[in-house]
Amino acid sequence: MLYPYRHSSLEKLLEKRLLNVILIFLLTLWFKRNSFFRGCVRTRCCLVKVFIIKEGFYMLTLEKNKKFAGRKGPVVVIVMDGMGIASDNNGNAFAKARTPTLDSLMQGDLYRTLKAHGTAVGLPSDADMGNSEVGHNALGAGRVFDQGAKLVQRAIETGDIYTGDTWKELIQKPLTEGAALHFIGLLSDGNVHSNIDHLLKLLDRSAIEGIRKVRVHILLDGRDVPETSALNYLTMLETKLEAINAKGFDYQIASGGGRMITTMDRYEADWSIVKRGWEAHVLGEARPFRSAREAIETVRKEESGITDQYLPSFTVVDDKGPVGAVVDGDSVVLVNFRGDRAIEISVAFECESFDKFERKRFPKVVYAGMMEYDGDLHIPAKYLVTPPSIERSMSEYLSGSGVKQYAVSETQKFGHVTYFWNGNRSGKFSEEMETYEEIQSDRIAFDQRPWMKAAEITDKAIEAVKSGKYRTIRLNIANGDMVGHTGIFQAAVIAAETVDLCLARLLPVIREAGGIALLTADHGNLDEMFELDKNGNPKIDKKTGEFEKKTAHTINPVPFIIYDPSYNGEYTLSQEEAGLGNVAATVINLLGFEAPEDYLPSLVSFK
């Protein structure tokens, strides 16, 4: 299988482990025969153990918690994706929704809020909204790591991004043979998938290097930024290109389209999105326009109310045809730093035996990502910035300690409760200890079906609890985020109410099993469905007289609730400032173990 969230790379794992066993055996024999080590049992054992740990053969384990042995039933972690806590204004779909279950839980003693944005999840500043990927990284890892945006920013500022072999290989043929250097990526400053500043800096560097021909393929956002802001970012890019071209260069926009229509599919939900991107960027066969601005303005006139993320694919042409189709000898850089929506287009550029759609042409190019989007499958093969290395996640410790785990979500968030939760790692730590289940998402706009697959996810979670097989269960209910991104307020209200209805079904089953539920979110979204002014009131769109829709995440805190029907005052819930990274130690403690020393502190303390 091509896609990293769908398999465990078991063959590679077994092959590596077999080689490790052989090497350890040979190393031990050598120690026994070597006169220096023959009498030194402790040294011999320590060296073998170091080798085992280094090669990944050693299983991490947890110490038992002497003050709390855990409950009879499982610890269930429920991630209510995109449901933050904000003031009750006209744009807060969470506050406007009828949510009696959550309302009751949030009145209890075991409720607080957590930070889920900015530095609390490894982003450059507290002005940066959180996102599902960094949120689930923090939830699963128990620590905070510098994330994509921060790593790329640092690499550009220090110049390290230009000193590696990948950049040198990318610019070789454009410098020596006049080939084109292509940049593909999301054109916004949302700082979730990309940042336009990174692209502008790469364009400046390309000119400094002396690259004469550059083509830019723009993906329009309207999701992590205001929903019709594309022309603002396009103006920034056009200004940069004009300044460079005034020096005698040939830098042009070649193609584009809205991110939900063009290129940026994830989890193999809809490969036709990638196909449309291929046709626009590589083949130059999308609807032709003389400029990107003409494309955007024309479609907006044709389809009143269309938002940027749904703008159709386009190709920029002149009298000779497409201005920037990708051909043999060119170099291509995907400037997005986040992995989930970058993997499929990367596979299309790199995989010889590709069968997801008919590519028509498969140009021989040097292809690189801004980062390595999957560290286990090494997608892509070349990248400009090394991603964070996240080891010793909670799942790895629990697997090594014999704790059976179950993870479930629908396609849109399945990778979050598996790959991102496990520290950007494909597959499982233990086939025996872990069970993953994916429910196929709908393939329609989520405002048209705002209940999504929440009921089916709840069904599976209930089955898992009742089975008695698992000590911990985690699920992501995606409605708050995916429906929040549509900008449709009433749909978001239904989404929040759907989550509450599902909790009303699931929590009694957890109570009957003698378990505990931890409820939280990875970031906010439907808590602000309208843009707010400096006084916190919804902004009015001057053209329509209606509230300005907001489709981006928020920087609001998220709820954290412990539902423990057997609670008898054995522990207290900390009210000190904390973030998503503190949840892992809390889960481990409530399972009856001590958390690793370098994990962020648990949110509970035992008496």
Q: Could you give the CA distance from residue 196 to residue 188 in angstroms, rounded to a whole number?
A: 5
Rounded CA separation 362/364 (Å): 7
Q: Which amino acid is at 33?
A: R
> Using CA atoms, how far apart are residues 20 and 7, in angstroms rounded to an integer?
22
| Residues in CB range of 188: below 8 A, 6 or more apart | 194, 195, 196, 220, 221, 224, 225, 229, 233
Structure tokens at 65: 């918690």
Q: Is-contact 105 519, C-beta < 8 A?
A: yes
What six digits make up the tokens of 548? 């300005």
**Residue 282's closest CA among 346, 344, 327?**
327
Q: How many CA atoms lie within 13 A of 302 on its CB side?
A: 8
**How far is residue 585's CA from residue 536's CA, in Å, rounded to a whole number?**
35
Which residue reads 């843009």 in tokens? 531
Indicate the angle between helix axes 148-158 and 196-209, nearest 10 degrees: 30
Phi, psi (deg, nearest 5) at residue 587: -60, -45
Indicate the DSSP class of residue 8: -
| Phi, psi values for residue 379, rounded to 5° | -115, 120
Integer Cα distance of 89 and 528 in angstroms:
8
38 CB-side CA count, 13 A: 4
Q: What is the helix, strand, coil percentage profile of the chain, to 5?
A: 40, 15, 45
For residue 206, indicate whether it is catalytic: no
Hey, what long-range contacts does 596-600 have (CB within 8 A, 24 or more apart)?
Answer: 596/62, 596/142, 596/392, 596/397, 598/143, 599/142, 599/143, 600/142, 600/143, 600/144
DSSP 547: B
Find residue 216's DSSP bridge partners. 183, 253
Cα-atom radius of gyration of the chain, to the nearest Å? Answer: 25
Catalytic residue among 8, 87, 132, 395: 132
- As a whole number of angstroms, the longest Cα–Cα distance in the chain is 87
Least Cα distance to 227 among 116, 140, 306 occurs for 306
**What does DSSP assign to residue 82?**
T
d(CA 321, CA 329): 19
Separation CA 161–CA 597 (nearest Å): 34
Residues marked as catalytic = 132
